[in-house]
Amino acid sequence: MGSPLVGRSLRKGGSRLVAKTAVVTGGASGIGRAVAERLRKDGFQVAVIDLSPTDDQFGYVADVTDREQVDTAVSAIREVLGPILVLVNAAGVEGFKKFMDMSFSDWTKVINVNLNGVFHTIQAVLPDMLEAGWGRIVNISSSSTHSGQPFMAHYVAAKSAVNGLTKSLALEYGPSGITVNAVPPGFVDTPMLRSAEQRHLLGGTVEDHIARTPVRRVGRPEDIAAACAFFISEEASYITGQILGVNGGRNT
């Protein structure tokens, strides 16, 4: 992959060789945790923002729906690790309800985390990327945006909007050296998936789904992390506004 090193700090006139700083939301669990581990292995300084505390050295507890909390966490990270040049938005919540049983508060809760949270974190870190003239944003959406999903209208609406936001920001910030891409995962073995299985919300067990998945296995968080690492690499600098499905062939 391209160099995770950047020879600049945000200090005016300052120039020193430091590792690029990446922030991963939802990095305390599942896909976000795997992304954080992968980026650390690739040489980035990684900070995690999550509702749940982590044992990460640079773990910050914040609710992505709360702009003040996001700004406070981002300022604290910037203070310790320097400008934030990579952002992966993996924080998310699911919800299962028949559309006509869905209260407006059910609807807004899911939209708030999955869509508005992405708005807040991107706005909070973009100034660093603009100043550096380099940035990478990867948004984790969902394979349900390819297919739709009954009882998840709020979730699919939010994740589809994230794909749209990704494409629009790619056009807006490409000229500033910032790429914006999305990875919509399908059927990845995380606490979110297992909790849906336990609540009988998957329409079968994980094993049943494996039998219907072309590559005949469940996705691993590391599969999603690999796609994120590629988008973040220098080799992907000509790739922006793309939606790369990582789903074992369940959606093509």
Among 113, 122, 161, 229, interactor with ligand NAP by CB under 6 A: 113
Judged by beta carbon, residue 94 or residue 128, the one nearer ligand NAP is 94
Can residue 160 be called a binding residue for ligand NAP (CB under 6 A)?
no
**Which of 184, 181, 183 is CA-nearest to residue 241?**
181
List the catalytic residue out of 60, 155, 173, 238.
155
Q: How far is the CB of 204 from ligand NAP (least distance, A)?
A: 14
Answer yes or no: 60 catalytic: no
Can residue 115 be called a binding residue for ligand NAP (CB under 6 A)?
no
Among 24, 31, 46, 161, interactor with ligand NAP by CB under 6 A: 31
| Separation CA 127–CA 58 (nearest Å) | 21
Can residue 83 be called a binding residue for ligand NAP (CB under 6 A)?
no
Can residue 223 be called a binding residue for ligand NAP (CB under 6 A)?
no
Judged by beta carbon, residue 2 or residue 53, the one nearer ligand NAP is 53
Q: How far is the CB of 92 from ligand NAP (least distance, A)?
A: 2
Among 191, 203, 204, 214, interactor with ligand NAP by CB under 6 A: 191
Candidates 7-15, 118-126, 127-135, 140-148: pick the segment binding ligand NAP (CB under 6 A).
140-148
Q: How far is the CB of 150 from ligand NAP (least distance, A)?
A: 15
Q: Which two tokens stand for residue 196?
A: 């849906």
Can residue 193 be called a binding residue for ligand NAP (CB under 6 A)?
yes
| Separation CA 58–CA 241 (nearest Å) | 29
- Catalytic residues, by residue number, are 155
Which residues of the shown chain bind ligand NAP in the complex (CB under 6 A)?
25-26, 28-32, 50-52, 63-65, 90-93, 113, 117, 140, 142-143, 185-188, 190-193
